[in-house]
Amino acid sequence: MASANQFDMQNPLTQYPQPKFPEQPQPVPGLASKMQPVPDHGETSYQGFGRLKGRKALVTGGDSGIGRAAAIAFAREGADVVINYLPEEQPDADEVVKLIEAEGRRAFAIPGDLKSEAFCKELVTKAHAELGGLDLLVNVAGRQKSVETIADLTTDQFDETFKTNVYALFWICKAAIPLMPKGATIINTASIQAYQPSETLLDYAPTKSAIVAFSKALSKQILPNGIRVNVVAPGPVWTPLQTSGGQPQDKIVEFGSDVPMKRPGQPAECAPIYVFLATQESSFITGEVFGVTGGNTLP
């Protein structure tokens, strides 16, 4: 089991639950609170040291999974945080708001569908107004639905996946960059799927490749503005994205067993790299992709 904090040394192979897991179908978008076992987002283990004191962050997908872990970590490092999520995810979002406020930080919850360009613009505008600025943008929210064959992959699903994963990222970055000061940072979320695509994720995998290319190009374009752009590319991580259709249920049972660590990652294991890329400690890093993959190394 995980330790009392993220610094206690322990065997990474046995640090968190390993397969087999029970089948646990959920309707999209799924709730972390209903997963078995419940994911670790760092609620009790993440310790902060004020490395983001006074920062103002917008995190999409902040109700659960990697976005939730990043939001908790940012708050414990001293940032005020706006989280975005779908209205159906309100119970998870309410928990995150309480966790952020328990750290003495300001938390704002803005639900809405990122497939809408108008909402994406509104989200950035509201986040900037609520926080009194915006200097940390973290795009985590994504759509993933497993489909066995190309014959069964509809144009509607293909369109929805690209709008959620790529168009929304474009719209949000476009709206946010003019509002961000020198020293601000953008962190986008790709996946090992960008490099090792699964045959059942014919729409999802190419969106993650697009995020990598988009981020590398954007990093060069806006570096003269003093803004850095980097990417985190996780491997299999135990989140509602997987149990609510991202993987077939028979794969949920063995989820994570095919990586060298023989288990899925937990959202809490992703949070520290988001923190590092957000802080001034990573000041000479931009346009890079950082894998959190359980040993399935990136190229």
pLDDT digits 0-9 by tens, 284-298: 999 999 999 999 999
Q: What is the mean pLDDT of the chain?
A: 95
Span 128-133, average pLDDT? 98
pLDDT 10s digits, 3-34: 567 888 999 999 999 999 999 888 888 888 89
- What is the structure's pLDDT at 3? 57
Asked if residue 97 has pLDDT above 80, the reply is: yes
- What is the structure's pLDDT at 244? 82
**Looking at the DSSP assignment, which residues form a beta bridge with residue 185?**
136, 228
- Taking the model in full, what pTM does it have? 0.95
Catalytic positions, please? Answer: 204
Under the banding of pLDDT at 50, 70 and 90, the label for residue 98 is very high
Pair 210, 252: CB distance under 8 Å: no
Residue 193: C-alpha distances to residues 132, 199, 206, 236, 293 (Å): 36, 10, 8, 10, 11
Q: In angstroms, rounded to a whole number, what is the distance separating the alpha carbons of residues 272 and 74?
A: 9
Q: What percent of the chain has pLDDT over 90?
A: 89
Residue 164: C-alpha distances to residues 57, 117, 275 (Å): 20, 10, 24
pLDDT 10s digits, 52-84: 999 999 999 999 999 999 999 999 999 999 999
- What is the structure's pLDDT at 30? 86
Domains and CATH numbers, the chain: 47-292 (3.40.50.720)
Asked if residue 216 has pLDDT above 50, the reply is: yes
Which distant-in-sequence residues (6+ apart) come within 8 Å of 159 by Cβ? none
pLDDT 10s digits, 239-283: 988 888 788 888 899 999 999 999 999 999 999 999 999 999 999
More confident: 33 or 112: 112
Q: What percent of the chain has pLDDT over 70?
A: 99
Under the banding of pLDDT at 50, 70 and 90, the label for residue 176 is very high
Span 96-115, average pLDDT? 98
Q: In angstroms, rounded to a whole number, what is the distance separating the alpha carbons of residues 181 and 258?
A: 42
- What is the structure's pLDDT at 1? 47
Asked if residue 229 has pLDDT above 60, the reply is: yes
Asked if residue 2 has pLDDT above 70, the reply is: no
Span 96-124, average pLDDT? 98
**Looking at the DSSP assignment, which residues form a beta bridge with residue 83?**
59, 109
Task: Report DSSP letters for 160-228, one per residue.
Answer: HHHIIIIIHHHHHHHHHGGGPPTT-EEEEE--GGGTS--TT-TTHHHHHHHHHHHHHHHHHHHGGGT-E
